[in-house]
Amino acid sequence: MKIKSLFVVVFIVFFFACSSDDGLPETNTGTEQDADDETTDEPADNDTSDNPNILLIIADDMGLDASPGYSIGATKPNMPTLQSMINSGITFNNVWAYPTCTPTRASILTGKYGFRTNVLKVDDVLATSETSIQKYLDENTNDTYSHAVIGKWHLSKDSSHPTAMGIDYYAGFLSGGVQDYSNWSLIEDGNTSTSTEYTTTKFTDLAIDWVDDQTKPWFLWLAYNAPHTPFHLPPTGLHSQGALADDQSSIDANPTPYYMAALEAMDSEMGRFLNSMTQEEKDNTLILFIGDNGTPNQVRQEYPNRRVKGTVYQGGVNVPMVISGATVSRMNETEDALVGTADLFATIADVAGTSTTEINDSRSFKALFDGTTSNNREYIYSEVGYDLGGSDKTIRNDRYKYILFSDGDEALFDLSLDALEDTNLLNANQLPLSDTNSAEKDKLTAELALMRN
């Protein structure tokens, strides 16, 4: 009994000695000292409520018909990484982009509609006088965030343009696409070199390396060019489409499995990137995945012919978006709120702690992450411009969609009954409009006129 009592006394003395500031074990890693050292760049506590990492992944030419988690389309790619995001987050049903790459990216970067920035079609140049989301974060978070854009830029062909827009680090290519996924020009901080690495893999390598170098919260815009044309056979091991022929005639004859293979390769590399992070870093990272416009006509499913990428029909503007990770408490849920790609600006700023809920044409939908409130956007808008001038414009509310074509023709669809827009309610054989349909058309046209005034 005396021995046991002596052991208890010794244990208590040792416990309190180790608990005191002066009694830290000599094997201490120095974390406490570093936390008090004003010269360290390492954040003491990366609180997810205040400064989570933000990862925006953009897929190129991926419509709902090619996306897991959406009912349209009978053939789906095998994308376990995206499916995991779906299972642990929110799938948005009513997200509108622009019908082509450039204006969608400009709307995200500036939080503005294309008619305000004069970016309405492919290859339009975004003025450097515009305030990018990266500049906005610098100015409104006291440089809390480091940021990078890796991948497709497509807002100017000037190699200095990303830097002029306030991007800390840029690597990728400037044009709308590459002729060869494994032989292309890489621009990294203004310097050009030839890369023979598969673009999807190279962008992932660059993303991993950049994140590894960060010592404070980060915002990464990761813009894959997959599955944009050219349709091709990705490297073995990145897809599950089987033994596909790699000659051009086989690809041209049936491009769909190659399109799916490119999506699967992108998903594989997304998974590799996420797995490169520590669990703590992953837990503190918000992931937003979105398509930049609808599916190309050659590989469309269910949508009518030529009512896909490049048009303001649903097949061109209604894109997939899945959000999961830090600050998202809703699990495996779908969301019908109306969201436009311009809304990503305010949402990212809001998540980063700026308290921004509305700016320019952008409204934060961060409140939807935990479902504490519903989105208050009544209308979303999109547009596509043409080289000879004019544009097709479209606006919708929770049920009806109105299109004003550049030649003055109009269309009205009841999306609740006609998701594929088969029946234009303004066609002669549909007139006269019911009182309800007429009232909805008046609301939409009035809102469109107000918006563009």
For 143-157, write each residue's pLDDT tens digit. 999 999 999 999 999
Q: Indicate if the pLDDT at residue 64 is higher than 70.
A: yes
Instruction: Return the structure tokens found at 297.
Output: 């006509």
Nearest Cα to Cα of residue 278 among 323, 328, 214: 214
Burial class (CB in 10 A: 0-12, 13-18, 19+), 129: exposed
Distance between CA atoms of residues 366 and 352, nearest Å: 11
Q: Tell the residue number behind the tokens 């048009």, with chain if given.
A: 311
Burial class (CB in 10 A: 0-12, 13-18, 19+), 446: exposed
Q: Indicate if the pLDDT at residue 293 is higher than 60.
A: yes
Please tell me the predicted confidence (pLDDT) of residue 195: 98
Query: Is-cis flag, bond preceding 432, omega within 30?
Result: yes
**pLDDT tens for residues 186-228?**
999 889 999 999 999 999 999 999 999 999 999 999 999 999 9
Q: Indicate if the pLDDT at residue 179 is higher than 70.
A: yes
Asked if 66 and 301 count as a contact pair (C-beta separation under 8 A), the reply is yes
Asked if 217 and 46 count as a contact pair (C-beta separation under 8 A), the reply is yes
**pLDDT tens for residues 15-53?**
333 343 333 333 333 333 333 333 334 333 334 458 999
For the chain, domain boundaries: 53-375, 397-451
Helix (H) or strand (E) holding 311: none
Q: Tell the residue number behind the tokens 């989570």, with chain if given.
A: 52
CB proximity list for 141: less than 8 A, separation 6 or greater: 51, 352, 353, 354
Instruction: Map residue 152 onto helix, strand or coil.
Output: strand
**pLDDT tens for residues 230-273?**
999 999 999 999 999 999 999 999 999 999 999 999 999 999 99
Please tell me the predicted confidence (pLDDT) of residue 187: 97
Nearest Cα to Cα of residue 58 among 226, 204, 207, 195: 226
Residue 105: other Cβ atoms inside 10 A = 25
Please tell me the predicted confidence (pLDDT) of residue 69: 97
Distance between CA atoms of residues 254 and 403, nearest Å: 33
CA-CA-CA-CA torsion for 20, 25, 31, 37, nearest 10 degrees? 70
Q: What percent of the chain has pLDDT over 70?
A: 89
CB proximity list for 15: less than 8 A, separation 6 or greater: none
Q: What is the DSSP string of 372-423?
A: SS------EEEEEE-TTS-EEEEEE-SSEEEEE-TTS-EEEEETTT-TT---
For the whole prediction, is pTM greater than 0.75?
yes
Distance between CA atoms of residues 292 and 97, nearest Å: 6
Pairing relation of β-strands 53-59 and 218-223?
Answer: parallel
Helix (H) or strand (E) holding 338: strand 333-340
Beta strands in 25-153 (DSSP E): 53-59, 89-96, 146-152
Distance between CA atoms of residues 206 and 227, nearest Å: 19
Q: Indicate if the pLDDT at residue 59 is higher than 90.
A: yes
CA-CA-CA-CA torsion for 440, 444, 446, 449, nearest 10 degrees? -170
Instruction: Map residue 298 onto helix, strand or coil.
Output: helix
Question: What does CATH list as the number for 53-375?
Answer: 3.40.720.10
